[in-house]
Amino acid sequence: MGKVIIFGNQKGGVGKSTCTLLAANALASAPFNLKVSIIDLDEQQTIGFLHEGEVSRGTHPIWNLIAYPESITGGKIHKFLKVFNQALDEYDIVFVDLPGYLDEGGKTDTVSPMADYIFIPFTPSDKDTYSTETYLLAMVDKIKQVKEEQERELKVVPFANKIDMRIRSQVAYAKSILTDFQEIHQVKGMQNMLGLYKDHANTGIDTNLYGGINDSQSINLTKWVNEMYTIIKE
């Protein structure tokens, strides 16, 4: 039986699809070598689009894609459950990529209680923290629902993405958000973060997923992947 992982946030553009791809590629590679599938439930088919690009370039993705842009609510749930359960039989890890909005087609509501892990990427800014917290609260409700109805544990794990090294206070700010989430909602976030990958030619500060040259050790893609693996293998 595979494990189901979702990168979720009601806000678009925080890196749900990007982090799904990063994690899928990492877990499908050595030393993990897991069988990985991604179910793309987003009407925009971000992952489906990238998968197509890879295939047309002849670089076959090391993970499987299940494109599923159609609705999954109401009577349509049965068809989806067939696809979903088959994926769970065939793969070690099934990622589900969702659209940005909590209520769009009810997909988040339907799928989140089927997950084992919901990772919540967020960018540390005041404006985004509110929507992240709203989403987090909705997922904390799902933890209770899953416990009561299925007698199992759903793990909810926030982490910071797109840390901009030019803004020196960002790492500290992200950490303070995670501390608040833990104290207020009893949800433990990830220690490792992902940087904003971009060349800031004009400042001379080069930032990327591994952090800048003088970075504190908390921004590092490799460490982030390893931490993620530690969480999901529990």
Where on the chain is the footprint of ligand ADP (CB under 6 A)?
12-18, 46, 100, 161-162, 194, 196-198, 209
Give the β-pairing of 198-200 and 205-207.
antiparallel
Of 180 and 199, CB closest to ligand ADP: 199
Please tell me whether residue 46 binds Mg ion under the rule CB under 5 A.
Answer: yes
Please tell me whether residue 161 binds Mg ion under the rule CB under 5 A.
Answer: no
**Which of ligand ADP, Mg ion, none does residue 162 bind (CB under 5 to 8 Å by kind)?**
ligand ADP
Q: Six-digit token pair at 23?
A: 């994690």
Please tell me whether residue 162 binds Mg ion under the rule CB under 5 A.
Answer: no
Q: 200 to each of 131, 138, 170, 178, how far by Cα in Å?
A: 28, 37, 16, 27
**Which of Mg ion, ligand ADP, none does residue 161 bind (CB under 5 to 8 Å by kind)?**
ligand ADP
Side by side, which strands form the sheet with 155-160? 64-67, 36-40, 93-97, 3-7, 117-122, 155-160
Of 16 and 155, CB closest to Mg ion: 16
Q: To the nearest whole angstrom, how small is the minimum distance from the Cβ of residue 102 to ligand ADP?
A: 13
Of 11 and 146, CB closest to ligand ADP: 11
**Nearest to 210, CA basis, from 227, 222, 198:** 222
Of 14 and 190, CB closest to ligand ADP: 14
Spatial separation of the C-alpha atoms in residues 51 and 21, rounded to whole Å: 10
Mapped onto helix, strand or coil, the DSSP state of residue 47 is helix
Residues that bind Mg ion (CB under 5 A): 16-17, 46
